[in-house]
Each structure stands twice: as structure tokens, then as C-alpha cells.
Amino acid sequence: MEKNSKKWLLGSAVTLFCLSLLNKGLGFIKSMVIASAFGATLQTDAYYVADGLLQNMLIPISEAVAVSFLPFYIGIKEISQEDSKAFASRTITDIFAVAFGLSICLYVAAPLFLRILLPTYTAEEVRLSTTYFRILVWGMCLYMSNHLLQSLLNAEKEYGYSSFAAMLNNMILAAVVFFLGKRYGLKAMAGAVLFSYVVQYLFLQMKSRRYGRLTFRYGFRDRRILKLFGQAFPIFFGNAIYELNSLVDRTLLSAMNAGAVTAVSYAAVLYQFASNLIGIPLTTIIYTELAESFAEGRMEEGGAKLEKGLHIGLLFGIPITLFVMISAELIVQITYGRGAFSAKAVAMTAQGLRYYGLCFMAYCTHSLLSRACYSLKDTILPMKIGIGTVGLNLILSIILSKFMGLRGVVLATAIADSLASVLLLFVFHRTKISLHLRRFRKPVCRIGFSAVTATAVCALWLHLDPISNGFLFFVSAACLEFGIYAGLMLLCRDELSMEIISVMRTVWKKDR
């Protein structure tokens, strides 16, 4: 990969990282407002169960279609810009129609569906979950359409709009809960979710209308769309199996203490905040780059881009993992520890977050390698590994939850995901593209030494507890951890760290 291409790739990743950081900051505010307003109760458990079940359905379908769509669109665009627009428009219309039909079916079947899936819930708890589910289900067609529009914009290398759409969601939900939460309860938040989907859709459609839009011309007779759905099915099946694991986890948690489902849900929000800061820039930008390189037969260049992505994941993932594990309780306390969110809820959420910290590296590695497979039009390999991972996760969740409670449920996820990422890396290296894995030995040693040293100093600082204000204490700990880590990496003359400094200097000079 050429030097200019490396700098552009890294510069785009840094830019998207900053947008993701801003978006996740707004997400933090949203979560703080929601936690303060509603706490962790049976009511919130019912809401998050309903929302979680719907996400279990939406995510596999949306991701499967959006991920499969990108390389198809890029391949068609190489031949004809006009044809790619027609293909995109027909796909958007088809997805909207299918999702709307599914929404109607799920609305009607919701009472029976939730009664079967929530055997440990009382009749009142099932009724509450059904109410929230029936409100949220009408956002299904918009949610799936939004994912497809984001994929379309990413294919055109207009990466920032997805982050802006997510910011709109966070701001709308925070505002509605703050002003209407006390009066209308969790129904206000459910309604706000639907409204935010509408706003996001209008924004994304406005930005992507040059490349495709909702029309009355459906494309079910278009063989390319049928082929797209065929390509998407293994991804959907793999994701659906993975989401089944989340469903089992939620079922196990629902049988524990009141608030366990909510606590793990809040811990997952914090985990996603950190993981998406790395994952979104990597998977968004590098997936598009890989699809282009592999479509044009430049396999060596694609391999170099993938290696760069793995290196970036290591650079950021290892220190974040260690920092989250030693500061989990402080993070939860300053984020949620107010209003209706009790000390018990803080303790439960911190337990979940601490074990979620073990998932960061697995998440980055698995996301990158899965998209590399999709770029090569292989959707079977990630599905096979996903099925094995979920099977292991289910077994570990059931066993560990008996001995460790909610910690065991999250730890099972971390173990299974880590093993899956290692296996996927090994198989990809052996059967797809031979990666230069030996080149990672020195970077891993430098990163490991710097991260462990910085974490040891930070742990001592947390133990001393010299600052009474929780927020300032957290900021000081974070600055200490990542400041020492960055300094040591620069002293070690890490290649990627030096490239990031070079990119930042270039951006600074341009701004001035």
C-alpha cells in the first residue's frame, strides 16, 4: 500500500474516530438522563427486554443486507453510475416493503411471541413488555432503511453522515426523556425512538438521494437483488444465531435479581461506547477500501489494508481494555450513579462492564476479518465460525451463570468471542490471504509493555483516590493512563503512532 494511501486511510479513520467520540459523548448524556429518570427496575427490565428482542430481529437482517449491498453496489458502479442508482433505489424500496410487512406480523403475534420467549416473567411483566414491543416494532422499516442508506453513503466514501444521524438519535431521546419522562414514563422513550428513526431517515435520504432513493419501482424481479439476498442469507443466519445467544443471556438474567437485565444493558451501552470508537472507523472505512481493492483484483493491497486495520485495533484496543477493567465502578458511578439509579444498580452494572472489557480486541479483530471475507464474496466462513461461537457461548453462559451470576453471563461472551476471533484469523490466513503476522510481534510487544506500564500507574492513582469529585477523578485517571501510554509508544518509535502524529500535524497545518 502506497504511503499516500496509508496516510489517507489513517486520516479518514482519525476523522471518523473524532466524530464517533462526539457521538458517543452524546450517547453518554442520553444514557445518564435515562438512568437518572428510570433507574433499574422491573419496568425498565420489561422495556429493555422488548427493545432487546426487537434488536435481535432487526440487527441480523439489517446488517446482512447492508454489508452485502456495499460490494454489489461498488461492482455495478464500476460499470455504470446510472445503473448503480437504479439498483440502489430498487433495493431501498424492497427492504422498506419487506420490513413493513414483518412489522405487521410481529405486532399481531407479539403477545404469544413474548409469552413463549419470557417463560420466567409474570403475566403483568409480559403485558408490559408486549406494550413496549408493539410501539417499537413500527420503527422496523425505518431502522432497516437507515442501515442501507448508511451503507450506500459509505460506498461513496461519505462516512460522516452516519455519525451525524446517530447524534440526532441521541439528542432526541435525551430531550424527550428529560422533558416528558416523568409524566409519560417509558412510553415516552419508546415513542421518541420511533420519532428519531423518522428524523434519521429523512436526513440520510436527503444526503444520499443522488445515489438512490425510495421509489414505487420495486426490484424483486431484478436478478442482482435476488443474488444480493442470497449473498446476505448466510450473514443473516450467522447474525441470527449470534443474536440467539443474546436472547438466552437475557432469559438467564431475567431469572436473577430485579434489575439484572437493565444493569447488563447499561454495561453493554458503555462497552459499545468504547468498542465503537475503534470499530466504527475501522469497519466503515476499511470495508469500503477492501471491497474496492478485491473487486479490482489487487489482493496484496487489500491484505496490506487489512493488516493496517488490525494494527490500529491493537493500538487502541489493548489500553482501552485494561483501563475499563480497572476503572469500571468509577465509570458507572459518574455515568449512571444518580437519581433512581441505586448503589446496588451501580455495583451490578460495574460487574458487567468489567467483564465486557475483555471483548474489545475480539470485537475489532472479528469485525475486520468478517468484512474482509464479505469483500471476497465469502459469507459462509464467518457464518460457520459464528455458529460454533454461539454454541460455546450458550454452554458457558448456562454453566458460569450458576456460579458467577450476571458476571458469568458476560464472561461467557468474552471467552467465546475471543476464541472465535483467533480461529477466524487462523482460517483466513490459511485459506484466503496470507497475512504477515510475524510483523506484529514487535508492535504487540511495544503496545503490551506501554499499556501495562500505564495501567499500573493508573491503578495506583485510583487506589490513592486523591480527588473527591468523581468526574475530575475519572478525567485525571484517563489522562494519566492514555498520556503515559502515548508517551511510551512515541519513545518506542512505534510506526503507526508516528504516522498518526504525522497525520495530525498535516491536518493542523491545513486548518491554519
Do 441 and 474 fall within a single domain?
A: yes
Do 270 and 151 fall within a single domain?
A: no
* Residue 147 pLDDT greater than 70, yes or no: yes
What is the reported pLDDT for 458?
92
What is the reported pLDDT for 254?
66
Do 68 and 179 fall within a single domain?
A: yes
Query: Tell me: the pLDDT tens digits for 458-500?
Result: 999 988 888 878 788 888 998 999 999 988 988 888 777 777 7
Q: Helices 81-117 and 140-155 sit at what angle, rounded to 10 degrees?
A: 140
What per-residue string of b and e applies to 228-243 under the rule 16 or more CB within 10 Å gives b? bbebbebbbbbbbbbb
Mean pLDDT of 287-310: 81
Question: What is the pLDDT confidence band of residue 455, given thresholds at 50, 70 and 90?
Answer: very high
What is the reported pLDDT for 116?
83
Do 268 and 201 fall within a single domain?
A: no
The helix or strand, by DSSP H or E, that contains position 90, with its residue range, turns out to be helix 81-117
Question: What is the pLDDT confidence band of residue 322, given thresholds at 50, 70 and 90?
Answer: very high
Do 466 and 508 fall within a single domain?
A: yes
Round to whole Å and give the CA distance between 28 and 171.
11
* Residue 457 pLDDT greater than 90, yes or no: yes
- Of the three residues 179, 210, 240, the one that is the final residue of a domain is 240
Instruction: Give 208's contacts (C-beta < 8 A, 6+ positions apart).
Output: 149, 152, 153, 156, 161
* Residue 307 pLDDT greater than 70, yes or no: yes
Round to whole Å and give the CA distance between 421 and 338.
37
CA dist 127 → 37, 106, 132 (Å): 22, 15, 9
278 contacts 320 by C-beta, under 8 angstroms: yes
37 contacts 181 by C-beta, under 8 angstroms: yes
Torsion of CA 239, 258, 254, 269, to 10 degrees: 0
| Lowest pLDDT segment from 60-64, 91-95, 311-315 | 60-64
Instruction: Give 303's contacts (C-beta < 8 A, 6+ positions apart).
Output: 433, 434, 435, 436
Range of the domain at 124: 42-240
- The overall average pLDDT reported for the chain is 81
Do 263 and 233 fall within a single domain?
A: no
CA dist 180 → 177, 192, 474 (Å): 5, 10, 31
The reply to whether 140 falls in a domain is yes
Do 299 and 440 fall within a single domain?
A: yes
* Residue 96 pLDDT greater than 60, yes or no: yes
The reply to whether 172 falls in a domain is yes
Query: Tell me: the pLDDT tens digits for 3-14?
Result: 455 555 556 666
The reply to whether 28 falls in a domain is no
The reply to whether 8 falls in a domain is no
What is the reported pLDDT for 158?
81
Question: What is the pLDDT confidence band of residue 365, given thresholds at 50, 70 and 90?
Answer: confident
What is the reported pLDDT for 393?
83
Round to whole Å and give the CA distance between 177 and 173.
6
What is the reported pLDDT for 453?
94
Do 231 and 369 fall within a single domain?
A: no
The reply to whether 178 falls in a domain is yes
User: Residue 308 is which amino acid?
Assistant: K
Question: What is the pLDDT confidence band of residue 235, given thresholds at 50, 70 and 90?
Answer: confident
Round to whole Å and give the CA distance between 413 and 392.
9
The helix or strand, by DSSP H or E, that contains position 226, with its residue range, turns out to be helix 223-254
- pLDDT over 70 for what percent of the chain? 89
Do 422 and 277 fall within a single domain?
A: yes
Round to whole Å and give the CA distance between 328 and 462.
11
Give the DSSP per-residue string, 428-481: HHHHT----GGGGHHHHHHHHHHHHHHHHHHHHHHHH---SSHHHHHHHHHHHH
Question: What is the pLDDT confidence band of residue 451, given thresholds at 50, 70 and 90?
Answer: very high
| Lowest pLDDT segment from 38-42, 111-115, 297-301, 482-486 | 38-42
Round to whole Å and give the CA distance between 495 and 287.
23
Instruction: Give which of 217, 255, 303, 214 is closest to 406, Cα–Cα.
Output: 255
Instruction: Give which of 244, 241, 277, 208 is closest to 69, Cα–Cα.
Output: 208
Q: Helices 123-136 and 186-208 sit at what angle, rounded to 10 degrees?
A: 20
| Lowest pLDDT segment from 128-137, 263-272, 308-317, 405-414 | 263-272
CA dist 131 → 98, 275, 420 (Å): 23, 31, 37
What is the reported pLDDT for 380?
84
Q: What is the DSSP letter of 358?
A: G
In SS3 terms, 175-209 reads as: HHHHHHHHHHCHHHHHHHHHHHHHHHHHHHHHHHC
The reply to whether 10 falls in a domain is no
Mean pLDDT of 204-220: 80
The reply to whether 19 falls in a domain is no
Query: Tell me: the pLDDT tens digits for 165-181?
Result: 888 888 888 888 888 88
Question: What is the pLDDT confidence band of residue 199, given thresholds at 50, 70 and 90?
Answer: very high
Do 267 and 336 fall within a single domain?
A: yes
Round to whole Å and give the CA distance between 270 and 477.
17
Mean pLDDT of 242-247: 68
Higher pLDDT, 336 or 455: 455
Mean pLDDT of 327-351: 81
Round to whole Å and give the CA distance between 99 and 101.
5
State the residue for C-alpha cell 465503537. 276
Do 218 and 305 fall within a single domain?
A: no
How many independent structural domains does the chain possess?
Answer: 2
What is the reported pLDDT for 452?
93
Mean pLDDT of 285-294: 78
Give the DSSP per-residue string, 258-325: TTHHHHHHHHHHHHHHHHHHHHHHIIIIIHHHHHHHHHTT-HHHHHHHHHHHHHHHHHHHHHHHHHHH
Do 169 and 306 fall within a single domain?
A: no
The reply to whether 248 falls in a domain is no
Mean pLDDT of 147-153: 88
- Of the three residues 208, 240, 272, the one that is the final residue of a domain is 240
Question: What is the pLDDT confidence band of residue 332, given thresholds at 50, 70 and 90?
Answer: confident
What is the reported pLDDT for 26?
78
Neighbours of 438 (CB within 10 A): 7
